[in-house]
Amino acid sequence: MAAHPPVVVHPPSPSGGRRVTIRGAIVGMAYGVADLLEFLRRAGADPDAVRLDDPALIEWRGGGPDVWT
């Protein structure tokens, strides 16, 4: 059984932004990639080393890193 990625970026909300969870905990609403990278930095990741297309790290629901509204 494959492990789930620790980061989930949920579908865009009707009011804008996307909820982000890390290891099952809601860390906030991201309104763009910069917000997501800040959440990852706060969680201990090096934002410069993060690959947004890494399916082992991030599960994108409702669109990829180019979809925020």
pTM beyond cutoff 0.75 = yes
Residue identified by tokens 């290891």 is: 23
Q: Single out the residue of 66, 53, 55, 41 nearest to residue 3, CA to CA.
A: 55
Q: Single out the residue of 1, 2, 20, 5 nearest to residue 59, CA to CA.
A: 5
pLDDT recorded at residue 69: 86
Token pair for 8: 């989930």
Task: Considering only residues 10 and 3, tell me which one the structure prediction assigns the higher pLDDT.
Answer: 10
Query: How large is the C-alpha radius of gyration of the chain?
Result: 11
Summarize pLDDT for 20-36 with one digit per residue, the tens.
999 999 999 999 999 99
User: pLDDT-derived band of residue 2, with 50, 70 and 90 as boundaries?
Assistant: low
